[in-house]
Amino acid sequence: MAEAQQQQQQQPEEEEEEEEEEQQSPVEATETDEGSEEPQKSVHKTPTRPLLSMRSMSIVDPDDDSPNMIVYRKIEDIVTLIQDETEGVPIRTVKSFMTKIPSVVTGTDIVQWLMKNLSIEDPAEAMHVGSLIAAQGYFFPISDHVLSLKDDGAFYRFQAPYFWPSNCWEPENTDYAIYLCKRTMQNKTRLELADYEAENLARLQRAFARKWEFIYMQAEAQVKIDRKKDKTERKILDSQERAFWDVHRPVPGCVNTTEMDIRKCRRMKNPHRVKKSVYGLAEEGTPSQSPIHTPLHHCRKGTKEDVEKEILFLNTQLDRHRMKMSKVAESLISYSEQYMDYDQFVTVQEPSNPWTSDDPSLWDLEASKEPSQQRVKKWGFSLEEALKDPAGRELFLKFLESEFSSENLRFWLAVQALKRMPQQEVAQRAQEIWAEFLAEGAPSSINLDSHSYERTSQNLKDPGRYSYEDAQDHIYKLMKSDSYTRFLRSSLYQDLLRKKVCPETEQGRRTSLEKFTRSVGKSLTGKRLTGLMQSS
């Protein structure tokens, strides 16, 4: 695996000894509690990613499952393949004026390759994916600090695996200071500091005032090392180094892609990782730790009790009844088909969507007592829908009253309210509900089966918010199967359903227009006013 990469990448020189080591064991070799395998043995299980049929070339430790690492793995697979001699993009040296630009590829080449190999039809999407890869620092534009991919003839270069983010670099400011410092020492235009870099350097000089001699010396040492390298190699390495810093010290305004979700931080493979220096500096003093890193949670491993509980649970699962996929699919499909008309993202709503038109008439309509036809139609979908809407509840209640059977709904509503009451009032209210609906000779006597009745009266010995849960379920089912269906067939409902309600807004508009015309000065003649009204 390491060999394949070496063919493609320009190898960092031997002097940077740390580098060589890093190549082989990219994850810092501190103790991990799971006795992880050597990173080299990252022979991947059959990839579930449809992208590649070959073994993962990624250097990410397969046991590292933190979210950033998962993405790095995928990117590294792509980046390895894209540099392949036969399957990848043509990486070449371009002659330009008096110089040669080594080891580059154009933006268009990358975009085309991504479209072909990731089956992407839209070039914009390929650029989005490419920019994601660039932002992580896996390839970079040679003439820009901003890491993104454009579909043009500009040149891009691939990053050396040493600098890959999967190596868990958290470079210190001392390293950054050395880097900026050495750039100023070499008299090359391509190494000139950008404005923000010059500002950063100035800040670092103030911060490290006491250490500056040390930093300066390190920078000089690095310059000496660099000078020994071949000119072409230096060009490549310098750009790769710069791209590395563009990731870890991004241009102001650019996203720092090394940031992690704080919820995931402590689950990283290497939570106590020692910060290592890009330039091989020995650690001074105690190794620093990120303040958010805390010891791995021990609840990941199951105990014997856990497994026993699991077995019990699995046995219940095994016995459960499963509905056929066809039935379940049908139910999902019919639900969404029924509600599609009400789904703003699929069907444009009438009247207009308030966010688009800044016209709140839709909500005025919802709040009004004159429901629209569409809204009335919804009450027919299910009892839940009818009860959800206050106007629907009201109409249903009215219907039941006409049948002298409103006690069921009134009971249901009373119990709903009980569930939301403050604790102190619950006991009393629960008793009141009993007296009204369930006691011997109750004024609004409801019909409960004996089993629910018994349970409820037991619950009432210690009344709580959920004492009536059983009873409420029973009554709900009764309403659903009996009164609700009759309600839908009733003339009360049907008449309302067929009635085309004139939206209030039309009247509203007329009134405001009248106000406008009244407030307009006497200079306007009657004829012109009429004209205005007609034209609106």
Partner 1 sequence: MGEMEELRKEAESLKDQITAARKTVQDTTLQEAAAGITAVGRVQLKTRKTLRGHLAKIYAMHWGADSTLCVSASQDGKLIVWDSITTNKVNAIPLKSSWVMTCAYAPSGNLVACGGLDNMCSIYNLKGKDGNVKVMRELAAHTGYLSCCRFLSDTEIITSSGDCTCVLWDIETGTEKTIFAGHLGDCMSLAVSPDFKFFISGACDFTAKLWDIREAQCRQTFSGHESDINAIGFFPNGNAVITGSDDATCKLYDLRADQELNTYQDSSIMCGVTSLAPSVSGRLLLAGYDDFNVNIWDTLKSERVGVLAGHDNRVSCIGVSSDGMACCTGSWDSFLKIWN
> Under rule CB under 8 A, which residues in 46-105 are in contact with partner 1?
48-51, 65, 67, 70-71, 74-75
Distance separating alpha carbons of residues 501 and 376, to the nearest angstrom: 11
3-state secondary structure of 157: strand
User: How many residues form the binding site for partner 1 (CB under 8 A)?
Assistant: 84
Angle between helices 123-135 and 107-117 (to 10 degrees): 110
Q: Does 263 bind partner 1 (CB under 8 A)?
A: yes
- Write out the binding residues for partner 1, residues 305-324 only, by CB under 8 A: 306-311, 313-315, 317-318, 320, 322-324
Residue type, 491: S
**Distance in angstroms (rounded) separating the CA atoms of residues 4 and 10:** 12
By CB under 8 A, the residues from 455 to 484 that bind partner 1 are 465-466, 469
Residues 348-367 that bind partner 1 (CB under 8 A): 349, 353-356, 358, 360, 362-363, 366
Cβ atoms of 141 and 155 within 8 Å: the answer is: yes
Judge contact between 225 and 255, C-beta under 8 A. Answer: no
For partner 1, give the closer residue by CB, 262 or 502. 262
The burial of 93, by beta-carbon neighbours within 10 Å (0-12 exposed, 13-18 middle, 19 or more buried), is given as exposed
Site for partner 1 in 112-141 (CB under 8 A): 114, 118-120, 125-126, 128-129, 132
Rounded to the nearest whole angstrom, what is the least distance from the CB of residue 263 to partner 1 in the complex? 6
Instruction: Please state the closest distance from residue 299 (CB atom) to partner 1, in A.
Output: 5
Q: Is 385 in the site for partner 1 (CB under 8 A)?
A: no
Helix axes 407-419, 423-433, angle to 10 degrees: 160
> Closer CB to partner 1, residue 82 or residue 101?
82
Cβ atoms 170, 151 nearer than 8 A:
no
Question: Rule CB under 8 A: is residue 377 a binding residue for partner 1?
Answer: no
Residue 264 vs 515, nearer CB to partner 1: 264
Nearer to partner 1 (CB atom), residue 48 or residue 450 = 48
CA distance 240 to 147: 12
CB of 503 to partner 1, least distance (A): 17
In degrees rounded to 5, what are phi and psi of residue 258? -85, -5
Rule CB under 8 A: is residue 328 a binding residue for partner 1? yes
Instruction: State how far the Cα of 469 lies from the Cα of 459, in Å rounded to an integer.
Output: 10
CB of 452: closest distance to partner 1 in angstroms? 15
**DSSP strand pairing (155-158 vs 139-141):** antiparallel
Which x/- pattern, by CB under 8 A, does the window 288-307 give for partner 1? ---------x-xxxx-x-xx
Which parts of 226-255 interact with partner 1 (CB under 8 A)?
255
